[in-house]
Structures are given as structure tokens and as C-alpha cells.
Amino acid sequence: MSDKHKRVLDALELREPDRVPVMDLMNEFSTSNAILGKKSNPLGRLLQDERTSRIMDRLLALPGSARLTDRELERFTHLGAAAAVRMDYDAAWLSCFPVLRFRDSRVMNDIFGRLCDVSVDAAGNLANPIYREGLIKTPADWDAWPKRDIFRLPEKVNRVFHEVQAEFGDRLFIFAFANYGLFENTWQPMGFERFAVAARKEKGFLRRVIRFYADLHCMLMEAVADAGVPGFVHTDDLAYKSGPMLSPRLIEELFGDHYRRITETAHGLGLKIIMHSCGNTTSLLENFVSWGFDALHPLEPTAGVDLASVKREVGDRVCLIGNLDITHILVDATREEVFDAVRQAIRAAGEGGGFILAPDHSHPDISVERLRWMVEAAHEYGTYPLRLQPEVAGESRG
């Protein structure tokens, strides 16, 4: 076992490692390219340009055009792994998500039923598509929705992660991301208003959909484990910045047993599994623990989540991952501010182990220089035993 794998496993299993591990988070094309010194792929600019977009519209209408998108998304997985190794991260959340299908140069849908606007970042790279609406409104729509590409997803994920694990797995603890979470994949393909009606009047229909995606998650974890990857990420944004999108009681009623099945399956396969859930999730912490997740991310600071409070409440039962701000600290902060943010995070959650430092989210404008400062600061302040004094009012930072 490599030092990095042991370091990450120690943190996940709530032991003190030699130092606080640092984790990469879903590198964007722009970030990976900047780290590796690569140029942007021209696809995004071809889609945006008025003249070339008309040509792309015709090409994207041809049979087999989905292979273009799949290859680009598979390239994203390899780029992210190479960039994480170059940055000397201990762990990385790597996405293999070949689920998008262009309708034309402006609009795409995914294989689950979301309709999205194509998004291109300032460097001309494809960025995360912008959700518009769901395409599955009724049980009849669900029954009629073509699912062949969904059934093929585990095979694609297995193949790509076999390649990535073979090339990078000895230098990086890989967490695979391969599907939206149960809640997201239930409400987004139908829209939230339609979901809310179904949650009151059509729970049988919702349970069919949830069970389908729980089955898919278990198959994807089988595919990832077969590839030798040691970790898996379940992403399910269950909260707004103000609190949960549904009552904790309803979340437990609809999804709780399925989350437990997912974590039990992961552990049976030898995988460590992260729950990524944005927003203010403090009222759901006990749920996350009871569902059996090994780690929680992002513990979003801009949503009012206090890392030290979370550590006190559940830090003896689940590993915490996060929670460096990506609105300022990792975008345009000074070096001193980045170092201070890292020191504060380690002080809040690092004592006794069970903490992995990471950005709280990802977007194309994150600064590579500030990511390097994050790693440097973690190495400076994160060696165990920690020697950080408790923060006091008026403390000088520098």
C-alpha cells in the first residue's frame, strides 16, 4: 500500500494519518488543462461560433454522434487523473459520466431525461450543462423512456476506470463518480413541481424510479470495484443554502433504505463511499451517519455550515471532507488568506484524524496557483501530531 493510500484510509477510518490528506475535486477541463499545460479542445468554440455551429448542428444530427460526446467525457476522466497526480494530491474525485447527448449546438439531454443548455467556459471548453427542465412527466413517460444507454453505462464506466486505475492508481486514491444521486435522478428528470406532486399522490411511481436508480448505483459500484478503484462518490444535493429541500422525515421515508443498501453494497465490495450533498445539511448529519456513508462532503461554508460544529457532532463517526471556499479563497485570495483558510479548516476538523482537506466545489474559474498554495499549506500545517493552537479573538494570522 502506498503512503498516499494509507494516509487516505487512515483518515476515512477515523485514525490519525501521518498528515491531513488533500483531495482533488472534479477538475474542470480548464483547470486540468492549465495544470498540465494543454490547450483547450476546440469543440466548445465550434459550438459557439455562429458559422461553425450550423455545421455542428448537421454533424450532431448524424447517427453515432453520441460517440463524440462519450469520447470527450472519457478524455475528461484521464485528464483529471493526470492533473491530480501532477498536483501531488493524495486522492481525487474522478468523473466518468458519458451520459450527455447533443440535440444541436445549443441544447442537450442526458440519458436519464434532463433537458439542458450547452455550456462553454471562457477558455472554450465544454462545461457542466445548465439544467432547464425534465422530460419525464408521467409514469407512461417513464415506461416509454429509452433506457438502453442507461443499461450500457456500467460497462463504459468499468472500461474507463480500468484504464485510469492501471495508469494512476498507485499514485492516487481514486474515488469514482459515475451517476447522479437517487434524489437528483428522481426529481430532475421530471422537474421539482411534478416531483412534489408525485411525492404526495404517486409514491408508488416514485418508488419504482428510486429502486431503478438504486439498482443502477449498485451495478456501477460493481463495475468500479472490478476495475480496482478503492472509492466511490454518491452525489445528492439534498439542501438549499437555507436547509433541506424536503423534510428529513420524507427523505428518510423515500430514500433512507436505498441509501443503506448502497453503502452496504459498497462496503461488501471493499469500497469506501462519500456522500456529497450541497447546501446547509446540518439537520441531515445524523441521517448521513445512519445511512452508513464513510465520509461527508462538502460541508459548504457559504451555506452556513460550521466545520468545527460538524466535527463535534459527528466527527467521531464519519470522516469529514472539505471545506475550502471556491467563491473567493481558491479564486482570487492572497497567499496569506489561502494559508489561513487551510489552517482554520485543519484546526476545526483535523484533531484526532478523520479529516480530508478539499475544495468545497469545482468551477472553471478556480485558480491553479491557489490550489498549489492549498497543498503547500496542508503540508505545512497538517502533519500529525497537530501543533495548531486554538484560535483566540484578535489572533494575528500570517
Q: Residue 395: pLDDT above 50?
A: no
Q: Residue 396: pLDDT above 50?
A: no
SS3 content of the chain, % helix, strand, coil (to 5): 50, 15, 35
Which set of grid coordinates corresponds to residue 141?
413517460
Q: What is the pLDDT of residue 41?
A: 83
Place 391 in a pLDDT band, splitting at 50, 70 and 90: low
Query: Which domains does the chain show, CATH number per domain?
Result: 3-35+70-99+138-381 (3.20.20.210)
Q: Residue 398: pLDDT above 60?
A: no
Q: Residue 73: pLDDT above 60?
A: yes
Number of Cβ atoms within 10 Å of the Cβ of 368: 18
- Mean pLDDT, the chain, rounded, equals 95
For the segment 223-243, the average pLDDT, to the nearest whole number, is: 98
For the segment 276-294, the average pLDDT, to the nearest whole number, is: 98
Pairing relationship of beta strands 173-177 and 130-134 according to DSSP bridges: unpaired
Q: Residue 138: pLDDT above 70?
A: yes
Query: What pLDDT, in 10s, does the model give residues 299-312?
Result: 999 999 999 999 99
Separation between Cα atoms, residue 82 and residue 84, nearest integer Å: 6
Query: What pLDDT, in 10s, does the model give residues 335-390?
Result: 999 999 999 999 999 999 999 999 999 999 999 999 999 999 999 999 999 988 65
Q: What is the pLDDT of residue 63?
A: 84
* Alpha-helix runs per DSSP H in the chain: 3-12, 29-36, 43-48, 50-60, 66-86, 139-144, 148-168, 182-187, 192-201, 203-226, 248-251, 257-268, 285-291, 307-314, 335-349, 368-381
For the segment 146-175, the average pLDDT, to the nearest whole number, is: 98
The percentage of residues in the chain with a pLDDT greater than 70, rounded to a whole number, is: 97
Q: Residue 272: pLDDT above 70?
A: yes
Q: What is the pLDDT of residue 25?
A: 84
pTM over 0.85: yes
Beta bridge partners of 276: 235, 297
For the segment 245-258, the average pLDDT, to the nearest whole number, is: 97
Q: What is the pLDDT of residue 42?
A: 86
Q: What is the pLDDT of residue 390?
A: 55
Which set of grid coordinates corresponds to residue 396?
494575528
Cα angle, residue 80 at apex, residues 187 and 327 outer, rounded to 5°? 65
Which set of grid coordinates corresponds to residue 72?
470527450
Q: Residue 392: pLDDT above 80?
A: no
For the segment 10-30, the average pLDDT, to the nearest whole number, is: 94
Place 64 in a pLDDT band, splitting at 50, 70 and 90: confident
Q: Are 117 and 130 contacting, i.e. CB atoms less than 8 angstroms apart?
A: yes
Sign of the dihedral through C-alpha 217, 219, 224, 225: positive
Query: What pLDDT, in 10s, does the model give residues 174-219?
Result: 999 999 999 999 999 999 999 999 999 999 999 999 999 999 999 9
Q: Residue 393: pLDDT above 80?
A: no
- How many CA within 13 A on the CB side of residue 365? 9
Closest CA to 274 of 243, 311, 234: 234
For the segment 74-97, the average pLDDT, to the nearest whole number, is: 96
Place 394 in a pLDDT band, splitting at 50, 70 and 90: very low
Q: Are 121 and 127 contacting, i.e. CB atoms less than 8 angstroms apart?
A: yes
Residues 6+ apart with CB under 8 A from 243: 279, 280, 283
